[in-house]
Amino acid sequence: MRWRVLVTDPLAEEGIKRLSEFADVSVAEGLSSEELKAKIGEYDALVVRSGTKVTADVIYAASRLKVVGRAGVGVDNIDVEAATEKGILVVNAPEANTISAAEHTIALLLALARKIPSANASLKAGKWERKKHMGVELNGKTLGILGLGRVGTEVAKRAKAFGMKILAYDPYISTEKALQLGVSLLPLEEVLRRSDFISLHTPLTKETYHLLDRDAFEKMKDGVRIINCARGGIIDEDALVEAIKSGKVAGAALDVFEEEPPPSDSELLRLENVIVTPHLGASTEEAQRTAALVIAEEVERALRGEPVRYAVNMPYLQEEQWDALRPFLTLASKLGSLCAQLKPKLSRIEHLEFAYEGKIGKMDKETSMLTAVALKSMLSFFTSGVNIVNARVVARKMGIKVSERKTEEAETFPSLLSISMRTEDGNVRTVSGTLFEGEPRVVKIDGYRVDAVPSGFMLVCSFLDKPRVIGPVCTILGDHRINIAGMQVGRKERGGEAVMVLNVDSDVDDAVLEEIKKVPNILDVKSVKL
């Protein structure tokens, strides 16, 4: 069966063509929320830009939806939390329109400084008003950038070429990055107080909603000019209108609005010193083509279950990070599955610790991907609908605390991944694995050294290291025509507790397990399928 993709906002032809290579594509622009809710159940993927509101209601109605693709960067029109909870991947094309948005910002900056739109309109209306259109230079002026991410950075580079001094407020970037760009990273108040022009480049979040409100405008220089090519809700539009009318703000250039399109009676559309464009930041042939192609490829990868590059609700990894990670994905999944099958029956998991030691402990965000993969494969034994997108949310809902520990120090193996599972009865089981010539190996169970290939049917027995244990276990298996393909025994000290791992050629059912449990000095036995 072919996948079905619904596209609900204008998408460049190239993107539609690319989607059609692997899916049946329906284009339905301008759907009401009710219409989208009624339709979404038939689709595996939804592709939007900023027009479609992908609300929690839409997400809950989406019975077979696997991925939402946003052909652009901002995802404030998508309820990402609801998508994550439902295990729906959200992908975007964060780099596709960076340059276009930065260039549009610079266009607005210049248009504002030189009053180009009103001069153009005036001349076309037959007037010759040179004095009225006196402007200001950018050279030597201070530009305050709020949000020094992709677009903010490109704007900073270009504004510097105009001789502007750049200040920035961004609590989430390092001073080194700002220093490298030749930008002074300062507290918000100081940026507001010292800037001649202020340009917004943050996402719209709970934190940035109305970042520029009455209070913020009061702190600014008299005659400041504002550019917003990011998101409407970041500015309180009523406060902006007041600040313009009072003369505090000399002009504003807006590409984005709290409501899009803005109501026709919006004062912002009537004020002469406000320049407006209808959300054109990404509207270039280059950006639209790239965004559409990137999102089509991301959607295809997501539907095929392959790693995506631009996941919004999963860690974002660069290509080289994926390359380093790839061999460990199977190991993480196998260890998760093994750990789940070693859980004492009917005992609730309280805590899972994922430990990354050695080279793997040096990895950054990649380890959260491995944790998600291991967690998904574990929790799938206990609940349905879990995937790597929602694995942590599902764990939290199940009352399982998840933690990660990393150390660059390695004892025996260059890289060691361990999962420790504590259940409510106080029992702790730990499985550890590594890669041997690129292939996963289980190298410790509960701290006992083994060397088992995590594949097919396995038996994991804990026992007291005494004579007449291993033999009888093998005899029972033989009696039931279960062939043993491999065996590993690990112990810490002679006569103490030990672990035996057997790779067997067929499933070991409960009756056989019960027989094995009766062998003197057997403490526990679990049948595992990996």
Q: Which residues bind ligand NAD (CB under 6 A)?
A: 73-74, 94, 97-98, 101, 146-152, 169-173, 201-205, 207-208, 229-231, 255-256, 279, 281-282
Contact region for ligand MLT (CB under 6 A) — 61-69, 71-79, 322-330, 454-462?
71-79
CB-based contact 192:219 (threshold 8 Å): yes
- Using CB under 6 A as the binding rule, the residues of this chain from 91 to 120 that contact ligand MLT are 97
- Residue 82 has, within 13 A of its CA and on its CB side, a CA count of 17
* Catalytic residue flag (residue 231): yes
Candidate residues 25, 47, 50, 435; the one interacting with ligand MLT per rule CB under 6 A = 50
Written as six digits, the tokens of 381 are: 């034994």
DSSP string, 454-479: --SEEEEEEEES-SSSHHHHHHHHHH
Q: Strand, coil or helix: what is 163?
A: coil
Smallest gap from Cβ 148 to ligand MLT, in A, equals: 17
Instruction: Select 156 or 360, whichever has its Cβ closest to ligand NAD.
Output: 156
Cα 496 from Cα 501, distance rounded (Å): 17
Smallest gap from Cβ 320 to ligand NAD, in A, equals: 20
Candidate residues 3, 6, 47, 74; the one interacting with ligand MLT per rule CB under 6 A = 74
Is position 282 an interface residue for ligand MLT (rule: CB under 6 A)?
A: yes
CB-based contact 67:89 (threshold 8 Å): yes
Cα 106 from Cα 408, distance rounded (Å): 45
**C-alpha angle 41-288-150 in degrees, rounded to nearest 5:** 100
User: What is the bridge-based pairing of β-strands 45-48 and 23-27?
Assistant: unpaired
Instruction: Select 205 or 483, whichever has its Cβ closest to ligand NAD.
Output: 205
* Residue sitting closest to ligand NAD (CB): 149
* Catalytic residue flag (residue 279): yes
Task: Find out whether the peptide bond into 315 is cis, omega within 30 degrees of 0.
Answer: no
Smallest gap from Cβ 159 to ligand NAD, in A, equals: 15
Smallest gap from Cβ 271 to ligand NAD, in A, equals: 20
488 binds, among ligand MLT, ligand NAD, none (CB under 5 to 8 A by kind): none
Smallest gap from Cβ 152 to ligand NAD, in A, equals: 6
Smallest gap from Cβ 108 to ligand NAD, in A, equals: 10
Written as six digits, the tokens of 362 are: 């040096």
Contact region for ligand MLT (CB under 6 A) — 67-75, 144-152, 395-403, 511-519?
67-75
CB-based contact 344:128 (threshold 8 Å): no
- Positive or negative, the CA dihedral 239, 245, 249, 254 is positive
CB-based contact 417:328 (threshold 8 Å): yes
Phi, psi (rounded to 5 degrees) for 451:
-150, 80
150 binds, among ligand NAD, ligand MLT, none (CB under 5 to 8 A by kind): ligand NAD
Cα 22 from Cα 90, distance rounded (Å): 19
Instruction: Select 200 or 473, whichever has its Cβ closest to ligand NAD.
Output: 200
* Helix or strand holding residue 307 (H, E): none
Name the active-site residue from 29, 42, 189, 260: 260
Cα 86 from Cα 65, distance rounded (Å): 9
* Terminal CA-CA length for the chain: 28
Q: Strand, coil or helix: what is 370?
A: helix
DSSP 225: E
Name the active-site residue from 231, 301, 392, 422: 231
* Catalytic residue flag (residue 350): no
Instruction: Select 83 or 400, whichever has its Cβ closest to ligand MLT.
Output: 83
Is position 47 an interface residue for ligand MLT (rule: CB under 6 A)?
A: no
49 binds, among ligand NAD, ligand MLT, none (CB under 5 to 8 A by kind): ligand MLT
315 binds, among ligand NAD, ligand MLT, none (CB under 5 to 8 A by kind): none
Is position 86 an interface residue for ligand MLT (rule: CB under 6 A)?
A: no
Cα 72 from Cα 97, distance rounded (Å): 7
94 binds, among ligand NAD, ligand MLT, none (CB under 5 to 8 A by kind): ligand NAD
Instruction: Select 96 or 498, whichever has its Cβ closest to ligand MLT.
Output: 96
* Helix or strand holding residue 85 (H, E): helix 80-85
CB-based contact 77:53 (threshold 8 Å): yes
Is position 72 an interface residue for ligand MLT (rule: CB under 6 A)?
A: yes
Smallest gap from Cβ 513 to ligand MLT, in A, equals: 56
Written as six digits, the tokens of 396 are: 């939290």
CB-based contact 148:178 (threshold 8 Å): yes
Smallest gap from Cβ 168 to ligand MLT, in A, equals: 20
Q: Which of 430, 485, 435 is nearest to 462 (CA)?
A: 430
Instruction: Select 87 or 281, whichever has its Cβ closest to ligand MLT.
Output: 281
Site size toward ligand MLT (CB under 6 A) is 8
Name the active-site residue from 18, 279, 301, 422: 279
Written as six digits, the tokens of 404 are: 């990660």
Smallest gap from Cβ 315 to ligand MLT, in A, equals: 21
148 binds, among ligand MLT, ligand NAD, none (CB under 5 to 8 A by kind): ligand NAD
474 binds, among ligand NAD, ligand MLT, none (CB under 5 to 8 A by kind): none
Maximum pairwise Cα distance, the chain: 107
173 binds, among ligand MLT, ligand NAD, none (CB under 5 to 8 A by kind): ligand NAD
* Footprint on this chain of ligand MLT (rule: CB under 6 A): 49-50, 72-74, 97, 281-282
Catalytically annotated residues: 231, 260, 279
